[in-house]
Amino acid sequence: MNMILNPAPSAPPTSMPNGTTRPQVRIVIVGHVDHGKSTLVGRLLHETGSLPEGKLEMLQAVSARRGMAFEWSFLLDALQTERDQGITIDTTQIRFRTNSRDIVLIDAPGHAEFLRNMITGASQADGAVLIIDALEGVRDQTRRHGYLLHLLGVKQVAVVVNKMDRVDFSAERFKAISDEFSAHLQVLGVTPTAVIPISARDGDGVAARTDRIGWYAGPTVVEALDRLEPARPLEALALRLPVQAIYKFDDRRIVAGRIESGSLSAGDEIVIMPAGKIARIKTVESWPETPIAGRQGAGRSVGITLDRELFVERGDTIAHTATGPRETRRLRARIFWLHDKELAKGDQILLRCGPKESRATVVAIEKAVDPGELASVENKAIGLNHVGEIDISLSNPIATDPYTENPRTGRLVIEVAGRIAGGGLVLSVDAGQRAVPVDIVPVESALRPDERSARYRHNGAVVWLTGLPAAGKSTLAKALERRLFTNGGSPILLDGDTLRAGLNGDLGFSAADRSENIRRLAEVATHLARNGHIAIVAAVSPAREDRAAARRIADTLFREIHIATPAEVCEGRDPKGHYKKARAGALASFTGIGNDYQRPEAAELTIDTSSRTVADATDEIERMLQQSGVLFDEVADLAANI
């Protein structure tokens, strides 16, 4: 069957990154030595009509002349030789087509190399074919590969039971292997997309269900590949532009880098991480000078200019303000260790995430596992070729994403003495957490969050009220506090002015002090929110950057409410008389910002207190908290209990 000759009736109409309308899927073929990987690949190339004209016949003739039995793996060897001699144009990656997919087979030369490539992001598979010899059955390496696919986050795995001709195409033998290995994958949380009986050598089950496997009703290998889902295109993910260099042309500063994911264009509002500075893209430059129009997507190398002078340096990451990465000094990662000397708790390492690097300390080692044995070996150290989950504390903040959100930026590499010693995936990012020395272990609450929320009928949250002085923040904050408390909740008011009298008493009104003031408010509020309380913060917090920093600290717990009372109304109220005047004066003289409140652009709620009652405004906040999952919905609860 020649798959190319069948036009794809179900091909999606949208254009794909590979320039066609066919989704591209990258796969890797793994399995125990000699179980038939190369044979299957040779077969697949043949069955899908992907071989150069005459190649197969030529190899068969050569084999016959030398008195050797023809092997399908010769095809790969031949392509490999041509590649080594630089003859073929592009065989670094073997490509073939099924009905509706362009398949790219990722070269997996050897075990260690494959892992190294996968974990350092040099290659990345959307799916995998795992091959098992029907006679030999599941072997160590089969299990190990299954486990590694799970570790690497490859969810789509087609299992192929090969060499069925050696077991007389026995349905029982097939079922036994299929059951054994499916159970193994199940434990790892992987459900095979298909388990297929084949003879790669003879062609059964590869592109056709032959009589010899007449008892089998599932998909062929080609059909299974045709059903693989491509990864979300990188362009559809959030913008990540790691800064590689800054060039000066005339008076322009051009920030250059390669777009790892997402897209950008002139006019976009961006944030530069980890500093958190905000700017707009003025122009997008193509090399070396002319500005280019339109959106530029993942994979493009671009230079951009910004609408204001900001300090940007190599290693920073540029993102859109609404979907920025999380700056962190703490992260959890799943790593594969490639170094002779084992990795132990307390070890000093160098951590690289994209272009950014930081010295780091291993705070804890959990689940160290030998992927061959699949047994937890210990949790003090990770040995050579073992896998583990570790907690890392960084000496400099790094902007990164969990691997599940962005497979491109959610990877890390660990170096020891200038050499790659391991690599892995970012599992979670503890936004805003400071680095802690190894001997300080944060003490957790005796109560679980769900115990508290069951009593309070709400989850923890940071409700951040920002707005001009005298806009009505404190009034509303107090009304909300009373309302939540009356309903049995646990609200706590953190008024900016109150905290300035104590915790923040050492801070003035310089830009740095204002940022620190907001940071402390956000840290305290987040701690309370993590413990199930609703922290209501009432603070002018005029700088958008500072509020963005607070949001990063509180992360998903953050709800911003803009008290958008017109300036004239605020002036008229002036409830704090001389105090406010003095403070406004101080703000203006130190920073010029007293007159320059930066309005939020994406607050969860905006309220103008000049046109409504306090009760009314409180209602509205309550509704927002309910809709955004903070307050439990009493009506829905009632309904569920009837």
Find, among 104, 205, 193, 131, the residue nearest to 157 by Cα.
193
Q: If binding is defined by CB under 5 A, does position 39 make contact with Mg ion?
A: no
Residues 6+ apart with CB under 8 A from 319: 238, 239, 240, 241, 262, 270, 271, 273, 325, 399
Structure token digits, residue 248: 């000066």
Determine which residue in the list 26, 37, 332, 514 makes contact with ligand GTP, applying CB under 6 A.
37
Structure tokens at 79: 């392509």
**Which option in ligand GTP, Mg ion, none does residue 30 bind, with CB closer than 5 to 8 A by kind?**
none
Q: By CB under 6 A, name the one of 73, 193, 321, 406 that touches ligand GTP.
A: 73
Tokens coding 382: 């990770």
CB of 39 to Mg ion, least distance (A): 8
Q: Does 34 bind ligand GTP (CB under 6 A)?
A: yes
Q: Does 321 bind Mg ion (CB under 5 A)?
A: no
The residue (of 40 and 529) whose beta carbon lies closer to Mg ion is: 40
Stretch that binds Mg ion, among 12-20, 37-45, 227-235, 243-251 (CB under 5 A): 37-45
How far apart (Å, rounded) are the C-alpha atoms in residues 283 and 289? 10
In the complex, the smallest distance separating the C-beta of residue 269 from ligand GTP, rounded to whole angstroms, is 51
- The answer to whether 549 and 512 have CB atoms below 8 angstroms apart is no
Distance CA 451, CA 386 (A): 37
Angle at 287 between CA 281 and CA 293, to 5 degrees: 45
Q: Which of 199, 400, 459, 565 touches ligand GTP (CB under 6 A)?
A: 199
Which of the stretches 38-46, 359-367, 551-559, 564-572 binds Mg ion when contact is defined by CB under 5 A?
38-46
Contacts of 300 (CB under 8 A, 6+ apart): 258, 259
The contacts of residue 59 (CB under 8 Å, 6+ apart) are 70, 74, 75, 78
- Cα–Cα distance, 121 to 142 (Å, whole number): 23
For the chain, count helices (H), then strands (E): 16, 28
Chosen residue from 24, 29, 31, 38 binding Mg ion by CB under 5 A:
38
Closest-CA residue to 20 (of 4, 36, 35) = 4
Determine which residue in the list 149, 200, 353, 625 makes contact with ligand GTP, applying CB under 6 A. 200
Q: Residue from 36, 121, 324, 407 that binds ligand GTP (CB under 6 A)?
A: 36
- Give the residue with the Cβ less far from ligand GTP, 82 or 107: 107
Catalytic residues: 541
Whether 605 contacts 559, CB under 8 Å: yes
Q: Does 129 bind ligand GTP (CB under 6 A)?
A: no
Binding footprint of ligand GTP, residue count (CB under 6 A): 17
Q: Looking at 157-165, 460-468, 469-477, 633-641, which segment touches ligand GTP (CB under 6 A)?
A: 157-165
Of the candidates 23, 28, 38, 147, which one interacts with ligand GTP according to CB under 6 A?
A: 38
Q: Which does 39 bind (CB under 5 to 8 A by kind): Mg ion, ligand GTP, none?
A: ligand GTP
Of 490, 453, 486, 461, which is closest to residue 561 (Cα–Cα)? 461
- Is residue 624 within the footprint of ligand GTP (CB under 6 A)? no
Q: Which does 201 bind (CB under 5 to 8 A by kind): ligand GTP, Mg ion, none?
A: ligand GTP
Q: Which of 24, 26, 28, 39 binds ligand GTP (CB under 6 A)?
A: 39
Alpha-carbon distance of 158 to 153, in angstroms, equals: 14
d(CA 213, CA 50): 25
* Residue 610 amino acid letter: S
Closer to ligand GTP by Cβ: residue 165 or 604: 165
- Binding to ligand GTP by residue 145, rule CB under 6 A? no
- Residues lying near ligand GTP in the complex (CB under 6 A) are found at 31, 33-39, 71, 73, 162-163, 165-166, 199-201
Interface residues with Mg ion (CB under 5 A) are 37-38
